[in-house]
A and B are shown apart, each in its own frame.
Chain A
Amino acid sequence: MTAISIAFTLNGSPVSVDVDSAERLLDTLRYRLGLTGTKEGCGEGECGACTVHLDGLPVDSCLVPTYQVRGRRVDTVESLDPPALEPFARGGATQCGACTPGVVMTAWWIRDHPELLGTHTLRELMAGNLCRCTGYDGIVDSIGAVLGERGSA
């Protein structure tokens, strides 16, 4: 096991940290930096509970070796503005909450890139975030509401 010193931008602020070369970004965030909003659901890149943004794109942080984010920008659920998430609370987008931070991160990316809906459906874009509680309607409807608000704003 070798250590690597890296620096990157986390939620808008510079961070320097020594990590094991074998460390996953998910574990660095949770256990080294105390950002426990990002969850582990499967460790296989299947459930999306660990979704964060890497240079503005949603990625499964369980599949990112931490050393690879050196010099790059990482944003986690902790970076989001809580009041902006109200429509998700209203729309029933969260139940048990374990998938929720990942769902929110993918949803946020869609919200910032409405042009994606020219080629993809919301349900296709959300397929990388498994949810066992909501049956997805609460999630999909909430994103639709957020997009609607932005569209008319």
Chain B
Amino acid sequence: MHRREGLAKLTGRERYVDDLPLDDFLWGMTVRSPVPRGRVTAVRFGADVDWSAFVIVDHRDIPGPNEVILIERDQPVLAAGYVRHVHEPVVLLGHRSREGLRRAVRAVEVVVAPEPPVLDFRVPPRPDQIQYGRDNVLKRLKIEKGDVERALAQAPVVVSGTYETGAQEHVYLETQGMIAWLEDQVLVVKGSMQCPYYVLSALKHALARDESRVRVIQTPTGGGFGGKEEYPSDIALHAALLALKAGRPVKIVYDRGEDMAATTKRHPSWVRHRTGLTRDGRLLAQDLEVVLDGGAYVTLSPVVLSRGIIHAAGPYSCDNVRIAGRVMFTNAVPFGAFRGFGAPQTLFACERHMDVIARTLEIDPVELRRINLLRDGQTTATGQVIRDGTDRVAVLERALELSDYRAKRRAHAAFNETHAAQRRGIGLAAFYHGAGFTGGGEVHLNSRVRVAGLADGRVEVLTANIEMGQGTLTVFTQIAAERLGFAPQDVAIAEADTGRVPNSGPTVASRTTMVVGRLIERACDDLRSRLEVDAAVRGASLRAAIVRWHREHAAERLVGDAVYERPPGISWDDANYRGDAYGAFAWATYVAEVEVDLATYSTRVTGFVAVQEVGKVLNETLARGQVQGGVVQGIGWALMEECKFRDGAMINNQLTNYLIPTSDDVPPIHVAFLENPYPHGAQGAKGLGELPIDGPAPAVLNAVAAATGADPRAVPLTPERLMAIADFGLRSAE
């Protein structure tokens, strides 16, 4: 099946939040903190603006608690006398003209008595910088397996290394945007988002409204990548506060500069590995320390840390593992959800470290991985027994074969001998990604899905999961159509409107197809049971049964229903971080080929092979596109995407200065899937969306290391950074 809304997007007919017709509305804008930390002593409104023509909102206008409710309640909707990061929202303005609003925003001065900020998460804070608990640690988590100290003491070889990753900006092409208005007594908020029920919960809490008086509707969302997981709650609250005060619809749409400066980014990380091995490369002990920069509020950082440390030891078998993780408070704009959610950071460290080990031990990096990859029956760092029947070595072999790895290595060696100014190399990364919420997360979400039988015999799938480019509408259609024997056009997908759809959980964590898709199948089955027909009744006869039911039950609703149930045999101990972290893992090996220009220190990726086992692939075109997009986002993070901060503010908050790859910067991405259906995912599917961003950075840097002999430990590996670590000798022309 082709992408369901594909033609609407291609012809420009799809209406995103800023495309919706809206009458008699005000634009909204945000006045933000100019400094990273301090007490707000005054807010001055300039004399050359007629303020009577503006709606002005500050923290005193918030009807409920001044809290953006998420994991913690530490983040205010609008700063109330104290700011903890640059660009923290302080005052909201509403006005008819966008240009007038821009002038007005500049005429408001937020006066702050500055206090010492903490801007480097790697440096222990001074006493006057402590702002969270006793030590600025937002969250500490630990995984322990076996006896690491003893194993390290006895190991014939110990290899240590530290690895760092920088912040990454999502660069969804549609910036954040939200509209709010009052419809009778009901506040309606509509906009670009991944999680309508998160937004609903934030609105209910801070606006002190119950569910009957708030409704959240997702508009077609122009990319998310995690950036529209938690942040839309903030902008939704802002639009709602302005609309409530103005008594008119209010639209807030960030321009690119504000979006890049003021919204979340991927957490910067620092990871230390200390690894004990036999001389032939068998893992004996893995001792890891993982530190993340959380920024000024907790947001989702504890969960990002959790996923980060669970993936940190890599897809390898090792009897003794200790992973100590912490996420630090700093006065940075809060870091948040971003595709991969902590795993790309720790997997970069792990897979780069594997090549550092291979170089130290003088063994083949492929062999090092081959001997240590998890075999069925072995356990992960949390003690989860992997027994899914996937041959992880076969995934590795397939990637080597498709990339022509061995022949390339020989060809590169010959090339490098004869070229003065270029070096070629090939590198790989083996990795995995757990699908769905961690541990008991899915049980806690308690997701619910409905499939309604309509009077004309079609069905409507009702979920809160949204389309942001990844293919939800198409895949949900396929899943229901396949389950019922329907043609795709006989399956409608309901708009994600909290007034209509049940809470099927957020559209995050690679859970939509696997977890929610499976609920759709079960809701389809439930629909059949309400019709009192068996699974053999499909297609036309099932449609006829639905039509008949409606004739016999005039004015009643026919709804199949399903609620999440934990797959059998899964258990998780959240207190000790032991057990089955995920119902299923996707497995992958990626291979990157690079050419490094020794004159300019710039690296170009010239070839890329991505092989993964993600259970059953439901839609080859969509799945391949997801992988290709994730790989290119990962190549960007590896080589060029760098957030530059000064005094806590991003200073390259323009697409001219924060560079993402163009079509001319990347090669074709060769994608291959191995299929091993997962019995508890829709049609055997496992999660896919995040996996592809875990592998590119280590694969690319390993390739650079192979090409040049350099030992890069941090991303992005910009030419300036490569120059700093490697003074390439020069050869004259041969």
Contacts and interface: CB of A to CB of B under 8 A. Distances in A.
B11 A96 contact: no
Contacts of A86: 7
Contacts of B220: 97
A25 B258 CA distance: 22
B209 interface: no
Chain A interface size band reads: 35 or more
A32 B7 CA distance: 25
Contacts of A39: 16, 173-174, 222
Nearest to A141: B668
Nearest to B19: A36
A89 B7 contact: yes
B157 interface: no
A138 interface: yes
B625 A132 contact: no
A43 interface: yes
Interface stretch (A65-73, A111-119, A120-128): A120-128
A151 interface: no
B622 interface: yes
Contacts of B172: 96, 98, 132
B629 A135 contact: yes
Contacts of A43: 255-256
A12 interface: no
A133 to B, nearest CB: 5
B173 A41 contact: yes
Contacts of A121: 664
Contact of B222 (A37, A77, A96, A126): A96
A98 B629 contact: no
Chain B interface size band reads: 35 or more
Main secondary structure of the interface of A (DSSP, over half): loop
A143 to B, nearest CB: 10
B628 A98 contact: no
Contact of A131 (B3, B5, B173, B624): B173
A47 B173 contact: yes
Given A41-B173, A127-B664, A95 B11 contact: no
A100 B8 CA distance: 10
B12 A135 contact: no
B621 A132 contact: no
A91 B625 CA distance: 9
B406 interface: no
A42 B256 contact: yes
B468 interface: yes
Given A96-B174, A134-B629, A124 B664 contact: yes
Interface in B653-670: 654-656, 660, 662-666, 668-669
Interface string B6-39: 1111111111101101000000000000000000
Given A44-B656, A133-B223, A134-B629, A92 B256 contact: no
B5 A97 contact: yes
B655 A126 contact: no
A81 to B, nearest CB: 9
Interface in B616-631: 621-622, 624-631
A43 B220 CA distance: 21
Contacts of A35: 12
A137 interface: yes
B173 A80 contact: no
B6 A135 contact: no
Nearest to A85: B10
B588 interface: no
A20 to B, nearest CB: 9
Given A90-B2, A130-B662, A100 B9 contact: yes
Given A39-B173, A90-B2, A132-B660, A44 B9 contact: no
B2 A49 contact: no
A10 interface: no
**Max chain A Cβ within 10 angstroms of own Cβ: one of B220, B471, B662:** B662
Interface in B527-551: none
A105 B666 CA distance: 22
Contacts of A49: 173
Nearest to B12: A37
B259 to A, nearest CB: 10
A123 B655 CA distance: 19
A132 B7 contact: no
A44 B10 contact: no
A134 B2 contact: no
B201 interface: no
A127 B663 contact: yes
Contact of B10 (A34, A100, A122): A100
Contacts of A46: 654-656
A139 B10 contact: no
Contacts of B579: none
Contacts of B631: 135
A31 to B, nearest CB: 9
B121 interface: no
A132 B610 CA distance: 18
B632 interface: yes
B512 interface: no
A96 B173 contact: yes
B633 interface: yes
A41 B223 CA distance: 12
A85 B7 contact: yes
A23 to B, nearest CB: 10
Contact of A137 (B19, B174, B628, B633): B628
Given A89-B7, A104-B10, A132-B173, 5 more contacts: A36-B15, A86-B7, A96-B173, A100-B9, A126-B664
Question: Lowest 10 CB-CB distances: which A-B pairs, in order?
Answer: A37-B12, A96-B469, A98-B222, A97-B9, A135-B628, A95-B469, A98-B173, A36-B19, A135-B632, A89-B6
5 contacts: A37-B12, A97-B8, A100-B9, A123-B663, A132-B660
